[in-house]
């Protein structure tokens, strides 16, 4: 007689083992099969044109590097500035791990700064992946598909985070207004205390 529980257990064991094999075969998305020197040369030679579909949209972008393990893409315009640095680390002789760190933002981004940060970083990760794999930048993947499996950078780019930021900003503004009103009230009280009673009733008009 077949033991149903034993069959189910073995089936699950096979499924889990298969999943582990698949994940192991996928590798790390931020590790590339090339030397650090090769990765550096490709990223440092990247040509990023201002474009509505580009990683930095229509911002003019300059590329610079430290000659060894860091490449910076610096994009700026009249209303925005974003700078992303790719740091390259050797995994072994023919594997390189890439970390992407971005800063900057747009004028008036306010509480949505985290969302803007995440959007730009996702687009840059797609540009990095395309550059190192020798394929064209794909705007459809730049919205987050390529970056989805990459490690995060600790910045909350969610809608909930933006809403929380907006609420905090509103609270800070109200607090500042209350503080200004308190100081104004104290100042008026000090002026009134220093002014003699008879002087308060005196007229400045000529008799």
Query: Is residue 82 predicted with pLDDT exceeding 80?
Result: yes
User: Both 149 and 177 in a single domain?
Assistant: no
Q: How confident is the model at residue 160 (pLDDT cuts 50, 70, 90)?
A: low
Q: How confident is the model at residue 24 (pLDDT cuts 50, 70, 90)?
A: very low
User: Both 172 and 140 in a single domain?
Assistant: no
User: Both 128 and 42 in a single domain?
Assistant: yes
Supply φ then ψ for residue 190, to 5 degrees: -65, -40
Q: How many CB atoms lie within 10 A of CB 102?
A: 23
User: Both 99 and 169 in a single domain?
Assistant: no
Query: Is residue 97 predicted with pLDDT exceeding 70?
Result: yes
Those residues with Cβ within 8 angstroms of residue 79's Cβ, 6 or more apart along the chain or in another chain: 106, 107, 108
Structure tokens at 73: 């893409």
- The residue count for the chain: 207
Mean pLDDT score, 152-173 = 57
* pLDDT value of position 137: 97
* pLDDT value of position 111: 59
Q: Which of 3-7, 111-115, 140-144, 176-180 has the lowest mean pLDDT?
A: 3-7
Adjacent-strand bridge partners of 92: 95
Based on the structure, what is the number of domains in the chain? 2
Q: How confident is the model at residue 186 (pLDDT cuts 50, 70, 90)?
A: confident
User: Both 152 and 163 in a single domain?
Assistant: no
61 belongs to a structural domain? yes
169 belongs to a structural domain? yes
User: Both 88 and 180 in a single domain?
Assistant: no
> 95 exposed, middle or buried (CB, 10 Å; 0-12, 13-18, 19+)?
middle
Query: Is residue 162 predicted with pLDDT exceeding 90?
Result: no
Q: How far apart are CA 32 and CA 131, in angstroms?
A: 11
Structure tokens at 8: 């189910």
User: Both 149 and 186 in a single domain?
Assistant: no
Q: How far apart are CA 137 and CA 159, in angstroms?
A: 26
Convert the chain into a string of H (helix), E (strand) and C (coil): CCCHHHHHHHHHHHHHHHHHHHHHHHCCCCEECCCHHHHHHHHHCCCCCCCCCCCCCCCEEEEEECCCCEEEEEEECCCEEEEEEEEEEEEECCEEEEEEEEEEEECCCHHHHHHHHHHHHHHHHHHHHHHHHCCCCCCCHHHCCCHHHCCCCCCCCCHHHHHHHHHHHHHHHHHHHHHHHHHHHHHHHHHHHHCCHHHHHCCCCCC
Query: Is residue 168 predicted with pLDDT exceeding 70?
Result: no
pLDDT top residue among 103 and 2: 103
User: Both 40 and 98 in a single domain?
Assistant: yes
User: Both 149 and 165 in a single domain?
Assistant: no
Q: What is the domain extent for residue 176?
A: 158-191
Query: Is residue 7 predicted with pLDDT exceeding 60?
Result: no
24 belongs to a structural domain? no
Adjacent-strand bridge partners of 80: 106
User: Both 136 and 185 in a single domain?
Assistant: no
67 belongs to a structural domain? yes
46 belongs to a structural domain? yes
User: Both 152 and 171 in a single domain?
Assistant: no
Mean pLDDT score, 114-142 = 95
User: Both 85 and 186 in a single domain?
Assistant: no
Percent of the chain with pLDDT over 90: 53
Query: Is residue 170 predicted with pLDDT exceeding 70?
Result: no
23 belongs to a structural domain? no
pLDDT top residue among 177 and 67: 67
1 belongs to a structural domain? no
């Amino acid at each position: 007689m077949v033991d149903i529980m034993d069959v189910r257990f073995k089936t699950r064991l096979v499924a889990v083992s298969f999943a582990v094999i698949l994940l192991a075969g996928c590798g790390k998305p931020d590790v590339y099969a090339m030397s650090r020197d090769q990765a550096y040369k490709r990223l440092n030679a990247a040509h990023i044109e201002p474009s509505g579909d580009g990683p930095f949209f229509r911002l003019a972008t300059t590329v610079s590097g430290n000659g060894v393990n860091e490449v910076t893409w610096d994009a700026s315009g009249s209303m925005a500035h974003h700078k992303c640095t790719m740091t390259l680390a050797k995994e072994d002789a023919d594997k390189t791990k890439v970390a992407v760190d971005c800063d900057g933002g747009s004028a008036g981004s306010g509480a949505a700064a985290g969302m803007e940060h995440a959007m730009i970083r996702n687009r840059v990760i797609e540009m990095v992946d395309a550059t190192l794999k020798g394929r064209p930048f794909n705007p459809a993947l730049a919205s987050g598909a390529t970056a989805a499996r990459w490690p995060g950078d600790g910045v909350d780019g969610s809608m909930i985070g933006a809403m929380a930021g907006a609420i905090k900003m509103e609270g800070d503004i109200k607090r500042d207004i209350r503080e200004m009103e308190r100081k104004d009230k104290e100042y008026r009280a000090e002026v009134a205390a220093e002014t003699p009673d008879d002087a308060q009733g005196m007229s400045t008009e000529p008799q």
